[in-house]
A and B are shown apart, each in its own frame.
Chain A
Amino acid sequence: MLAKGRSMQELLVVSGLRKVYEGQGRRVEAVRDLTFTVAAGELVCLVGPSGCGKTTLLKCVGGLLAPTAGEVSLAGSPVSGPPPGMAFVFQEYGRSLFPWMRVRENVGLPLKQKGLSKQRRRELIADALESVGLSDAAGAYPWQLSGGMQQRVAIARALAYEPDVLLMDEPFAAVDAQTRADLEDLVRGLWRQRGITVLFVTHDIDEAVYLGQRVLILSGSPTVVQEQLKVDLPDERDQLHTRVSPRFAELRTHVYEQIQAAKRGEPDGLRKDTPPLH
């Protein structure tokens, strides 16, 4: 495990984050007060009821939106625009990939902007595409690929960028269940191999528990962190066994209850810490 090899320092710190959208006489408080940290090499899942400002939060973390109050800092320096150490994977892969570029150009464009040499770019592109199992598709256009493959390309683009933190915004919400399971395993595999820090937003409770080392449960809008839950499942996880293990069921039930509580607007659901084994 790479995550254990590193010192567990806090890489990403979100403190007192608040985002209010103002416009046309309407004032929407999407995120009220969010504070959490992500350690280097950690895989953290953010889960919450739909419309709870998950995407807003992630965009603030990624420097795409300026928060109304509070601060995001990456490796000690405050985030004021998209930092070079972060890569973003969007839910809408079809719109996030550029249809006028072939797969290899899509993956290579951010590297060009980084000013890497042609040789280095080629290596990174080949390596990233191989990691997601798409070496053969380098010359294809994104729209010639299936949805799952397109999202793999988007993941490859993020990997090639060599980020410290990978931000994923409901990346598998628009693919079918089978593809989704494959992509979940891909992300976990890549995370373990490469030791990247991953912040993964999802509305799917099972996905959050299956993927994460830690699950942050968000409340309904306006959003605060309802609970932080450590997922004490073994590091070796697979779709077949992990998902039917009793511990998985307990954890997912717990998260589910918390989210239901969050929807009802109860300040705190049940317990603060990891639910004990029954």
Chain B
Amino acid sequence: MRGANTALGTAGLAAFLALGEAVPRLGLVKEQYFPPTSRIAGALRDEFAETAFWTALGDTLTGWALGLAIAVSAGILAGVLISVVPHLREATASTVEFLRPIPSVALIPLAVLLYGTGLRSVLLLVVYAAFWQVLVQVLYGVQDVDPVADETARSYGLGTWARVRHVLWPTALPYVMTGVRLAAAVALILTVTAELVIGAPGLGARIAVAQTSQAVPEMYALIVVTGLLGLLINVGARTVERRALAWHQSVRGEVTV
């Protein structure tokens, strides 16, 4: 079953690539703007040979990883604090609901004003976008604590912080993992956006340069790279999730006793 699925997936991808090759060659679209697959692949090979490409990739990954790390830590910390301190949740709910829907890209002018075109501009946007993803999931997760589990912990003399560590945190972990996975994807989008719009160094800036210099195959090659990054990040996040939540119902499946 699994083998069949893999074969189907590979066949689908091959068909898609073939289509990308055939459509421009048949003149159905302008080859100038839609280069065939083989030319994009060639451009990708050339990119791999350039040091500037690897530097740009490094910059993008740095912005992504730093931003994500800050957003995740801050989101978890804020989420636990808001849930544990009495009345804080009620007090912050409306503010969170107001701030959360603000699109991070709307903060681009502010980021430029504050930090110019450097890494810190990228971080501002990435952290703002990713933070809410984590925070909201933590808040949901904490609400999921089973009253019986909590009473058990209390009856065995576990104090507030011991309960946070041994009951609240494991309960919230599946939610946190979902938040981190969503945040990881959003962080990549915002990193590339910031580089593209603000011109901070990275893959986004390189795409902008390729576009302005009419290097269309190179532009596509770079877009493919960002897509691959997204894919890797998602696969990585899922792997971490599965490892950390081996005990959880969603991962372990139904156990027949």
Contacts and interface: CB of A to CB of B under 8 A. Distances in A.
Contacts of B248: 99-100
Contacts of B257: 144-147
Contacts of A88: 151-152, 155-156
Q: Per DSSP, are chain B's interface residues mostly helix, strand or loop, or mixed?
A: helix
Contacts, number: 62
A184 B251 CA distance: 35
Contacts of B162: 113
Contacts of A95: 146, 148-149
Interface in A141-162: 141, 143-147, 157, 161
Contact of A62 (B155, B170, B173): B155
Interface in B238-257: 247-249, 252, 255, 257
A113 B247 contact: no
B157 interface: yes
Nearest to B171: A100
Contacts of B154: 64, 82
B25 to A, nearest CB: 55
A156 to B, nearest CB: 13
A86 to B, nearest CB: 7
Contact of B151 (A64, A101, A143): A64
Contact of B247 (A90, A92, A99, A146): A99
B155 A64 contact: yes
Contact of A82 (B146, B156, B167): B156
Contacts of B166: 98, 109
A161 B153 CA distance: 13
B158 interface: yes
B245 to A, nearest CB: 8
Given A98-B167, A99-B247, A99-B248, A86 B149 contact: no
Given A96-B148, A143-B252, A82 B155 contact: yes
For chain A, which range describes its interface: under 10, 10 to 19, 20 to 34, or 35 or more residues? 20 to 34
Contact of A90 (B151, B158, B255): B151
B163 to A, nearest CB: 10
Contacts of A275: none
B240 to A, nearest CB: 16
Interface string B154-182: 11111000100011001001000000000
Contacts of B157: 82, 84, 110, 113-114
Given A99-B248, A100-B170, A109-B166, A90 B148 contact: yes
Given A95-B146, A98-B170, A100-B170, A144 B152 contact: no
A143 B152 CA distance: 17
Contact of B155 (A86, A99, A144, A146): A86
Contact of A109 (B146, B151, B156, B255): B156
A100 B177 CA distance: 15
A226 to B, nearest CB: 27
Nearest to A157: B156
B148 A92 contact: yes
A86 B152 CA distance: 12
B211 to A, nearest CB: 49
A161 B156 contact: yes
A101 B173 CA distance: 14
Interface in A22-77: 59, 62-64
Contacts of A141: 247
B247 A110 contact: no
Q: What 3 pairs across the A-B complex have the smallest Cβ distances? A: A110-B156, A95-B148, A88-B155
Interface of B: 146, 148-149, 151-152, 154-158, 162, 166-167, 170, 173, 247-249, 252, 255, 257
Interface of A: 59, 62-64, 82, 84, 86-88, 90, 92, 95-96, 98-101, 109-110, 113-114, 141, 143-147, 157, 161
14 contacts: A63-B155, A82-B156, A82-B157, A88-B152, A90-B151, A95-B149, A98-B170, A99-B247, A99-B248, A100-B173, A101-B247, A141-B247, A143-B247, A157-B156
